[in-house]
């Protein structure tokens, strides 16, 4: 029986802590609340529970919403984002005079990876006024902002660029913005994650690089990200579940001609997948659970260089709105004098 | 036994005629040649063979190459492209004075869909000189160029914009450029297709719209495209084949410890997939052939709005190079005085 | 005495009606009001006064403000803009169901000329939903939007593109957005003009083309513009006045050493220029008034192809903010359901 | 007589050494040659002649050409540029293995200031392959590339960003690319200057910042620039000369009615300006020579914040071509294996 599939040694990565918690959210380190149509989940990873995650210790705040492109919705999301970002600043006793460097990671020329740099376009930059001795009214702090581009564009490890500039201008803390990778299509462009645990540049497009973190930079690092892509492994696994649910449904309704015309919105809630149907349909693959399936697909596809990303068709439109929410939100959280009218 | 999978009524679309020919290329309507490292295939679809294709009658010239981002390669590709484009112009007796409208389809703000508009940036436009009575030296013709944007950006059917402008400026022929969708990852960014059969805007990102064709515009329409994306259906099907081949390989080598460390470049050549392994591994799905699998996946995923595209991580870099090749190539083919030094 | 300068036959163009009114604003066809820090002037040109203007008959509403890049200011400007735009819609009995085509004129790739196209990026487009029979909730109307690019980019007269598309999709009215040219540096980026008298594409960068107007399109044309450039003629004339005022000031203060260190904010208010100093300093040129000077400079510079534009150093930053104000403002004015929270 | 104009203490800056040499080019430190239609001038500033320049000691190589947008011309310009750049590399004994950091100064979002960053888009970057231990074929060297953006965008002194990154990655030499400011409209977009004397970021748009130079960075700094703008002072002075020449011409031809219809291409060659006419026309200003006029205008306009730039209308089109020439040229000069086919 040496032909069974062994996936015990493979790790599947998602950038979102919430995707590692799974369905069991009644845990003492998970804190949920709902504000209007927005759900906020705070996950605290520490030494007591870190074995359950492939993430570093830290707080992971997830803001989930339906549609950031609607004007009214977007204002609500922005309000929640401002509040949560301010909370994180308080944890580190960051006061109104602390200076900040904001860093946009990613490739401005590639729409699925441009969230970081286009958010930087929306940031109110003030550091040079303080440097040049120009009077700045009260209610502002010193903020600098850089776009690092990607290692493929600069030839330089992104961490090294950041470390060099942090050493040069010595900010009190940094905020890093990047496009992330989700492990579920349903979260793409519908989640903002704020964390104090640092970030790996390029993770959104699957090229993990040296991490940007408090440990390595010596100052608080707040990372803000939105999943804009999923990987091909996710798509294949999600499809297997969709297909099974569809098959189960059709099998049960096949004698009912009216049902054949119906467009089925299959449900991929894991608890709903009929395991017998799945095995019939997918054989040995059908006997694997989600994690196992992904690990197996990953083992096969990664080495052969499946160098693709999966992103929504309207990514340009949505990313633009998200960069406004995050840019305006950061301006609000950092400067007392900027108000979200 | 009404639980078997019936896929007879579903069509899977690829924008590339060459992907519908399959492995049997020794057909009288397929003409292959090799120029250096570049392969050129001309497929002629007419009333005698149109049943075998989901494409309109016409000539489909496919230029296949390995890497358009290398400078030397790109010059070779450009030379072949110029030659093939000139051949198509000759079929329609397009002479040196015929006026041309060049149309870039797609969304300039979305990297996977921007080939059309960024190619337009490289086009030498001359029509206004003729309109304004400004002297143009010999060796040029009248060329106008427009970017139509997408229906989601304008709110207008792309065909209607084109028809209106063609009626207004009355060119002798049009060249249309668009990003296409392939049904195989291996072709993405490695193929240029030239056809006189017209094109459906938005097909590259899966939103097929009213076709741009000679039948509907009344003048020759030459479409130039490059596949920059595949759809999720393709990714899932390719993965099933990769996975099966990998499983077959591992099963046969599992007792050889050295092999376990080897990174396996699995082969997805259809003739190589072990059908028994595929059934073991994938159950009923494993009994379907490629077309059947894709049709089945398509039936399931399309109705539930799987609104994603799959594109390479370095799409911004490659598309830029391809737009140079196509833009310069069109300038060369249209104006005697423009030479490819 | 045939060596005097004769400028009677030369016209200097500004795109702003308010710049042709001059200082005498107590005219029955000029209506001024102030809303907060914003001044709104409505000028009505008709058969009774048209000889005083180099403009077509129509209403010209000018919204003047200090700084559109400040968030609070920009919201005030947007509110006033919405109100004034709605007023113009009422003049033409444009009701909530009337369909609209919005046109962005200019060159998206040239920062001083990109106001039109980047405003289009902010427009909510709905026409395709109505065309495709997709349900749209109440409180919206059908809106389509196009960027025409410039004649140098397309090779096609911009008017011809617009006429063709208007004939095709038959909107009830159009809104046209363009960068304008001012005749005073002080107005650049600090004025929005709304007019029902039409517009000439390219006037902002001095290449006047066929006008977009109700007379030529057969439907109401509302033009919205912001002066983003001045021409070299304006700069030279403004400089002559600055220089004269400075000379007058220095002459009167030259024995006062402290004054020599003072940075002088000279005043170019016409009534302040010392005419004798001006003649001393500038000879025969100094005897001309503003209009005469500009006409003379124009006669000299235009034929020799002084093909330059003058624009602020921070044009990219300001134009982005203005495009937000105008884009959001149009969305608000056109759709009941869009509110300026 | 204390009302005369004293300009002895004011300096007018041009970024081009060639504009400070004036008409007297038969100097032992000026070396001219002509290659086809291209003129190359090398000016060596050292302790023996530095008093005549407002420039640092160093070599200033100026490549002058007519039209970089024509394909054939652009290839000739590129060939000359490659040759001259290689010459400068030889002066510093930079060998084929020396590592290089290429820096694009300026604002990518402002067309007149985007030469630096868009040239970076054309650079072949290889440093990360060496860093990651990926095999690179012979004939390449290690090249990294960054865009610094402007101080207004980052809030950080550009020099500080560069110094930090140079200290981090320790290249053997740097190449810096920037848009420059000319003091004559005729040179705009028609000159490439290469110098080993360093560069001041932002000088193209008049915001001079801390210099990037060998003295301050400790490694050779080769600066490559193209004048894309002139300042308002230049425009006013050039206009005074144009106007005088025009006046002289008209005065002499005023009795000849046919001449009145003629479009006059006035000549601003300084030796041609009739000094008596200039005084009649411009009074005291007319008695100043070019430098004095500019200094006087500068004294008046600079303090009052005349914060404008003057640029050609087709700047977007030309800058794109120049960025190709410089980017390809640098790739050729740095990598043996890149050839200019």
Q: How close D125 gets to chain A, by Cα (Å)? A: 6
Whether the Cβ atoms of residue C204 and residue C15 lie closer than 8 Å to each other: yes
Q: Say yes or no for a CB contact (<8 Å) between B155 and C147.
A: no
| pLDDT, mean of residues B39-65 | 93
Q: What is the pLDDT of residue C289?
A: 79
Q: Say yes or no for a CB contact (<8 Å) between B168 and C153.
A: no
Q: Which of B149, B161, B168 lies nearest to residue C163, judging by beta carbons?
A: B168
Q: Which residues contact A269 (CB under 8 A, 6 or more apart)?
A: none
Of the candidate ranges C128-132, C304-308, D28-32, the one whose mean pLDDT is the lowest:
C304-308
pLDDT digits (tens, 9 = 90+) for D211-226: 999 999 999 999 999 9
Q: Say yes or no for a CB contact (<8 Å) between A339 and C71.
A: yes
Of the candidate ranges B297-301, C45-49, D198-202, the one whose mean pLDDT is the lowest:
B297-301
Q: How close A111 gets to chain D, by Cα (Å)? A: 16
Residues of C in contact with B149 (CB under 8 A): 146-147
Which chains share 3+ C-beta pairs under 8 angstroms with B? A, C, D
Q: How close C164 gets to chain B, by Cα (Å)? A: 5
Q: Say yes or no for a CB contact (<8 Å) between C131 and B157.
A: yes
Q: Say yes or no for a CB contact (<8 Å) between B338 and D75.
A: no
Q: Say yes or no for a CB contact (<8 Å) between C316 and D282.
A: no
Query: Which regions of chain D are under pLDDT 50?
Result: 1-3, 7-11, 260-261, 263-267, 341
Q: Say yes or no for a CB contact (<8 Å) between C156 and B128.
A: yes
Q: Which of D109, D300, D307 lies nearest to residue C313, judging by beta carbons?
A: D307
pLDDT greater at residue C325 or residue A264: C325
| pLDDT, mean of residues B222-250 | 83
Whether the Cβ atoms of residue A146 and residue D157 lie closer than 8 Å to each other: no
Q: Residue D229's closest CA among D10, D22, D13, D21?
A: D13
Characterize the bridge pairing of strands D191-195 and D58-64. antiparallel
Q: Which of C154, C155, C169 lies nearest to residue B156, judging by beta carbons?
A: C169
Q: Say yes or no for a CB contact (<8 Å) between B146 and C156.
A: yes
Q: What is the pLDDT of residue D200?
A: 83
Alpha carbons C284 and C303: distance in angstroms, whole number: 22
Residues of B in contact with C142 (CB under 8 A): 155
Residues of A in contact with B304 (CB under 8 A): 242, 263-266
Residues of A in contact with D201 (CB under 8 A): none
pLDDT greater at residue A288 or residue A330: A330
Q: Which of B232, B254, B314 lies nearest to residue A239, judging by beta carbons?
A: B232
Q: Which of B67, B69, B70, B71 to mutate to probe the D interface, most D CBs <10 Å?
A: B71
Q: Say yes or no for a CB contact (<8 Å) between C165 and B161.
A: yes
Q: Say yes or no for a CB contact (<8 Å) between A339 and C75.
A: no
Q: What is the pLDDT of residue D249?
A: 74
pLDDT confidence band for A207 (50 / 70 / 90): low
Segment of B2-6, B206-210, B321-325, C136-140 carrying the highest mean pLDDT? B321-325
pLDDT confidence band for B1 (50 / 70 / 90): very low
Residues of B in contact with A306 (CB under 8 A): 185
**pLDDT at residue B271 above 70?**
no
Interface residues from chain D to B (CB-CB < 8 Å): 71-72, 75, 121, 320, 338-339, 341
Q: Say yes or no for a CB contact (<8 Å) between B155 and C144.
A: yes
Q: Which of D310, D312, D320, D321 to mutate to probe the C interface, most C CBs <10 Å?
A: D310
Q: How close A76 gets to chain C, by Cα (Å)? A: 11
Residues of A in contact with C121 (CB under 8 A): 320
Q: Which of D152, D306, D313 lies nearest to residue C307, judging by beta carbons?
A: D313
Total Cβ atoms within 10 A of residue D338: 18
Nearest-by-CA chain B residue for A250: B3
Q: Residue D61's closest CA among D197, D220, D219, D205?
A: D197
pLDDT confidence band for B239 (50 / 70 / 90): confident
Chain-centroid distance, C-alpha C25: 19
Q: Residue D311's closest CA among B255, A142, C111?
A: C111
Q: What is the pLDDT of residue C318?
A: 94
Q: How close A4 gets to chain D, by Cα (Å)? A: 36
Alpha carbons D220 and D101: distance in angstroms, whole number: 11
| pLDDT, mean of residues B215-222 | 96
| pLDDT, mean of residues A251-260 | 63
pLDDT digits (tens, 9 = 90+) for C234-268: 788 777 777 777 777 777 776 665 554 454 444 45
Q: What is the pLDDT of residue D307?
A: 75
Q: Which of C129, C155, C168 lies nearest to residue B143, judging by beta carbons?
A: C155
pLDDT confidence band for C186 (50 / 70 / 90): confident
- Identify the DSSP state of D57: S
Interface residues from chain C to A (CB-CB < 8 Å): 71-72, 75, 121, 320, 338-339, 341
Q: What is the pTM of this model?
A: 0.90
> Three-state secondary structure along chain C?
CCCCCCCCCCCCCCCCCHHHHCCCCCCCCEEEEEECCEEEEEEEECCCCHHHCCCCCEEEEEEECCCCCCHHHHHHHHHHHHHHHHHHHHHCCCCCCCCEEEEECCCCCCHHHCHHHHHHCCCCCCHHHHHCCCCCCCCCCCEEEEECCCHHHHCCCHHHHHHHHHHHHCCCEEEEEEEEEECCHHHCCCEEEEECCCECCCHHHCCCCCCECHHHHCCCEEEEEEEEEECHHHHHHHHHHHHHHHHHHHHHHCCCHHHHCCCCCCCCCHHHCCHHHHHHHHHHHHHCCHHHHHHHHHHHHCCCCCCEEEEECCHHHHHHHHHHHHHHHHHHHHCCCCCCC
Mean pLDDT of chain B: 85
Q: Say yes or no for a CB contact (<8 Å) between A155 and D142.
A: yes
Q: Say yes or no for a CB contact (<8 Å) between D146 and A161.
A: yes
Q: Say yes or no for a CB contact (<8 Å) between A161 and D165.
A: yes
Residues of A in contact with D128 (CB under 8 A): 151-152, 154-157
Place of tokens 């039948």: B215
Whether the Cβ atoms of residue B321 and residue B313 lie closer than 8 Å to each other: no
Q: Which domains does chain A have, with CATH numbers?
A: 18-229+312-334 (3.40.50.1450), 234-310 (no CATH)
- Identify the DSSP state of B304: T
pLDDT confidence band for B227 (50 / 70 / 90): very high
pLDDT digits (tens, 9 = 90+) for C279-293: 877 777 778 877 788
Characterize the bridge pairing of strands B100-105 and C38-45. unpaired
Of the candidate ranges A121-135, B47-61, B92-106, D305-319, the one whose mean pLDDT is the lowest:
D305-319
Residues of A in contact with B315 (CB under 8 A): 110
pLDDT confidence band for A259 (50 / 70 / 90): low
Of the candidate ranges A188-192, A205-209, C88-92, the one whose mean pLDDT is the lowest:
A205-209
Q: Say yes or no for a CB contact (<8 Å) between B281 and A280.
A: no
Q: How close D282 gets to chain B, by Cα (Å)? A: 38
Q: Which of B75, B121, B338 lies nearest to residue D71, judging by beta carbons?
A: B338
Residues of A in contact with C341 (CB under 8 A): 71-72, 75, 341
**pLDDT at residue B30 above 90?**
yes
Q: How close A249 gets to chain C, by Cα (Å)? A: 28
Interface residues from chain C to B (CB-CB < 8 Å): 109, 121, 125-129, 131, 142-147, 149, 151-157, 160-161, 163-165, 167-169
Q: Which of C36, C71, C77 to mutate to probe the A interface, most A CBs <10 Å?
A: C71
Burial of B151 (0-12, 13-18, 19+ CB in 10 A): buried
**pLDDT at residue B103 above 80?**
yes
pLDDT confidence band for A59 (50 / 70 / 90): very high
């Amino acid at each position: 029986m040496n032909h069974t599939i062994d996936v015990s040694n493979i790790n599947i990565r998602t950038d979102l802590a919430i995707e590692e918690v799974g369905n069991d959210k009644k845990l003492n380190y998970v804190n949920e609340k709902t504000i209007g149509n927005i759900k906020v989940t705070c996950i605290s990873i520490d030494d007591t529970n870190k074995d359950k995650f492939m993430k570093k210790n830290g707080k992971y705040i997830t803001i989930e919403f339906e549609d950031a492109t609607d004007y009214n919705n977007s204002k609500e999301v922005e309000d929640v984002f401002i509040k949560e970002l301010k909370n994180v600043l308080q944890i580190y006793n960051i006061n109104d005079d602390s200076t900040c460097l904001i860093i946009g990671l990613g490739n401005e020329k590639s729409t699925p990876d441009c969230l970081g740099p286009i958010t930087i376009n929306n940031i109110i930059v003030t550091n040079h006024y303080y440097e040049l001795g120009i009077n700045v009214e009260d209610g502002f702090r010193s903020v600098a902002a850089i776009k690092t581009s990607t290692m493929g564009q600069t030839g330089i490890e992104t961490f090294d660029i950041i470390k060099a500039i942090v050493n040069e201008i010595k900010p009190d803390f940094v905020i890093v913005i990047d496009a992330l990778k989700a492990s579920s299509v349903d979260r793409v462009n519908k989640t903002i994650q704020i964390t104090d645990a640092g970030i790996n540049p390029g993770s959104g497009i699957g090229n993990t690089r040296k991490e940007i973190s408090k440990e390595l930079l010596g100052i608080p690092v707040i990372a803000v990200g939105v999943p804009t892509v999923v990987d091909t492994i996710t798509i294949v696994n999600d499809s297997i579940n969709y297909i099974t649910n569809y098959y189960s449904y059709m099998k049960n309704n096949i004698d009912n001609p009216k049902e054949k015309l119906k467009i089925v919105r299959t449900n991929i809630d894991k608890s709903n997948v009929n395991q017998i149907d799945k095995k019939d349909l997918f054989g040995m693959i059908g006997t694997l659970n989600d994690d196992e399936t992904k690990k197996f697909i990953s083992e096969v596809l990664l080495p052969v260089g499946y160098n693709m990303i999966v992103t929504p068709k309207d990514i340009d439109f949505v990313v633009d709105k998200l960069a406004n929410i995050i840019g305006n939100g950061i301006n609000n959280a950092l400067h007392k004098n900027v108000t979200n009218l």
